[in-house]
Structure formats: C-alpha cells, structure tokens
Amino acid sequence: MATLLPAPARRRRTVWRDTAVGWSFILPNFVGFAVLTLVPVLALFYLAFTNWNVFGLAEWTGPANFQRLMHDASFWTALRNTLYYTVFHIPLTMVASLGLALLLNRKLRGVAFFRTVAFFPYIAAIVATAQVWNMLFSPEYGPINHILHFFGFSGNPGWTVSADGSMPAVIIVGTWREMGYYMLIFLAGLQTIPGELYEAARMDGANAWHRFWTVTVPSLRPTTFFVTVMLTIGSFKVFDLILLLTNGGPGQSTLVLSQYIYQKGFQENQFGYASAISIVLFAICFLVTVVQFLVNKRRNA
C-alpha cells in the first residue's frame, strides 16, 4: 500500500496545480464580473420578492410584486411598446445593414471612407445625435417635414411629439444608429464566402438575384444568427435612445420596459417592484434567445 501512495499524490498535486493556474487566468476578469455583475444579479432575484425602498430592511412579500404586475396597465403598455419597437427594429436594421454591407463589399473608389461613414452613427455620442434628430423631427421648423412637404405630402406629422409618430421616429433613429455596427459584422461574414462558389454559380447561369439567394444568404447563416440574437436582446433592452429622444412620451407612447424599471426604481424608489419588472425583462430576453438557438440548431441539422 505504502509504495502505491506517491503516484496518486503526484497526480493530485498536478491536478491541483492545473486548477490553480486555470483559476489565476480567469480570476482578474471573474472577480470584477462577480462583484459588479453576478452578486447584484443574484441580489436582484431576491429583491424582486421584497418591498425594498433603498433604506431600511427588505421585507419579504412573496409573489406580491408579480401579482401587482399582472394588473398594472402601465407595465402592459411598456411591454406592448417594447414589442412594437422590437418587431420593426430587428428586420429594418437587418435589411439596412445587410444592404450596406453588400454595397460596400465591392471594389469601389473610397470604400474605406464610406465604410467609416456608415459606422459613424454607432460611435457618435447618443446625447448629441438624439438632440440633432429631435431638431430634424421638429414638426414646425424641422427639415424632415419640409422635405415631405416639398414632395407633396400634405400632413404635418408630429414625429417625436405626437402619440402616433413618436415610435416610428424612435425606430428610424434606432435603425440609423445601429446599422453601421451590424454592417461591419455582415461585411466580415461576406468576406469569408469563397469566390469559387460565385464563379460556379455564374457558370451555371445564375443571375445576381439567384446568386444572392442561393450562395450569399446560406453562407451567411452563422452571421445572420449572431446578428439576430444580438439585435433581439438589444431591442428589448433599448433605453438611452428613448430616454433622450422622447423620454417615453408624449403620454406613454414610447414608454419601454427598461425605462419603466428606471422610473419605478430610481424615481419612485420602489426597488422591489423595479426588480420584479427586471426579472420579467430578463425572462423575455432569455426565452426568445433560447427559441432562436433551438430554431437555428434544427436548421443546421
């Protein structure tokens, strides 16, 4: 027995050393993640079942917050608006960014310049761009309505200051802002498609339209999947854009879930209730992403 001891002990020591090395590699990032993200997120799941108001103790109220949610008309309005934004923002951004990517994936003069220009909205400060867009949308003095009038459009849409026009205005700006970023991802995807595929398709007599549908779209599927997932999560969590552009108004016409969380939490100090809404938003993002992964898996199979 005694003679057998050294071998497992040494193995145990190497295992331990490997583990320690592994941990030390991820530790710097993990500590930050744990302190700033993981622990607060876990706290969120606890707080959602309490009536915590920043000071004092968090009193356990069980599912009361969630029961209140069911009957909270503002919550449903916010949820409806979030879905409205998502349903239009995702396809529009996909089409716009893919179109831009196709356009800028060919050899043309100054392509680097145009790619930079298309990417610019994404890196420009949202505070500044929201202000400029608001001025463009101004119903009486804004250039957008002037251009519409020039082309014979008779109405005077109120855009960010009308209940019907505010959400379309937000969607337009949201699409404008994000298309450059996703264009970059699509561009990277396009450049991985081997040129031989196009050549072969051309030999078989496929026109540009056919080549797009039979070569480009299938080859881009991994990229498209990634973009869809990122866009979906981004759309559900939209916040800064709306806060700066319309502040949820007029009325509640552009109130979205993340802003409602902000209102309940930081303006009305109902942190327990705000946590409950956060969990609902988390659950929605989680579910939609899982469904997308499942659909993608089945398609690839």
Partner 1 sequence: MKRAITAVLGLGLAASLALTGCSSSDTPETMPTGPVSITLAGWSLSTTPEFKTLADGFHTANPNITVELKEYDASNYDTQMTADLAAGSAPDVYVQKNLKMFYTYQAGGQLLDVSDVAKGLTSSPGGLSGYQVDGKTYAIPYRQDSWVLFYNKALFDKAKVAYPDGSWTWDKYAEVSKSLTAALKTAGSKATGDYQHTWQSTVQGFALAQTPGASLQSGDFSYLKPYYQRALDLQTAGAQPSYGTATTNKLTYQAEFGKQQAAMMPMGTWYIATLLSQQAKGDADAFDWGLAPAPQFDASTTGTSATPVTFGDPTGLGINPKIKKEKVAAAKAFLAYAAGTQGAKSLAAIGITPAASAAVADDFFGLKGMPTDDLSKFAFAKHDTKPENPVSKYTAGLQNVLNDLHSAVLSGSKDVDGAIGDAQKRAKNEVLNS
By CB atoms closer than 10 A (0-12, 13-18, 19+), residue 300 is exposed
Task: Rule CB under 8 A: say whether 262 interacts with partner 1.
Answer: yes
State which of residues 251, 286, 291, 297 lies at the interface with partner 1 (CB under 8 A). 251
State which of residues 76, 120, 266, 293 lies at the interface with partner 1 (CB under 8 A). 266
Over the window 44 to 83, marking each residue x when it contacts partner 1 by CB under 8 A and - when it does not, the resulting string is x--x----xxxxxxx---------x--xxxx---------
The position carrying tokens 């583990």 is 19
Q: How far is the CB of 23 from partner 1 (least distance, A)?
A: 23
- How far CA 32 is from CA of 23, 25, 42, in Å, comes to 14, 13, 15
- How far CA 118 is from CA of 37, 70, 132, in Å, comes to 33, 42, 17
Task: Rule CB under 8 A: say whether 253 interacts with partner 1.
Answer: yes
Q: How far is the CB of 251 from partner 1 (least distance, A)?
A: 3
φ/ψ (deg, to 5) at 107: -80, 105
Q: How far is the CB of 126 from partner 1 (least distance, A)?
A: 13
Q: How far is the CB of 271 from partner 1 (least distance, A)?
A: 6
Instruction: Indicate the residue among 158 and 174 with the shorter CB distance to partner 1.
Output: 158
Instruction: Indicate the residue among 46 and 293 with the shorter CB distance to partner 1.
Output: 46
State which of residues 15, 36, 188, 295 lies at the interface with partner 1 (CB under 8 A). 36
C-alpha neighbours within 13 Å on the C-beta side of residue 181: 16
By CB atoms closer than 10 A (0-12, 13-18, 19+), residue 257 is buried
Instruction: Indicate the residue among 168 and 249 with the shorter CB distance to partner 1.
Output: 249
Q: By CB under 8 A, what part of segment 144-183 binds partner 1?
A: 158-164
Task: Rule CB under 8 A: say whether 268 interacts with partner 1.
Answer: yes
Q: How far is the CB of 248 from partner 1 (least distance, A)?
A: 8
Instruction: Indicate the residue among 72 and 289 with the shorter CB distance to partner 1.
Output: 72
Instruction: Indicate the residue among 115 and 264 with the shorter CB distance to partner 1.
Output: 264
Contacts of 72 (CB under 8 A, 6+ apart): none
Instruction: Report the candidate in 88, 47, 44, 78 with the shortest Cα–Cα distance to residue 64.
Output: 47
State which of residues 102, 126, 237, 280 lies at the interface with partner 1 (CB under 8 A). 237
Both structure tokens of 166: 């505010």
> Which of helix, strand or coil describes residue 11?
helix
Q: How far is the CB of 211 from partner 1 (least distance, A)?
A: 42
| Number of residues located near partner 1, criterion CB under 8 A | 63
Span from 43-51, 113-121, 181-189, 203-211 in contact with partner 1 (CB under 8 A): 43-51
Amino acid of residue 31: V
| Alpha-carbon radius of gyration of the chain | 25
Task: Rule CB under 8 A: say whether 93 interacts with partner 1.
Answer: no
Q: Is the dihedral of CA 262, 68, 167, 291 positive or negative?
A: positive
Both structure tokens of 205: 């007599």
Phi-psi region of 26 (alpha: psi -120 to 50; beta: other; left: phi over 0): alpha
Rounded Cα–Cα distance for residues 73 and 85 (Å): 18
Residues found near partner 1 in the complex (CB under 8 A)? 36-37, 39-41, 43-44, 47, 52-58, 68, 71-74, 131, 134-135, 137-142, 158-164, 237, 239, 247-253, 255, 258, 261-263, 265-271, 273-275, 278, 281-282
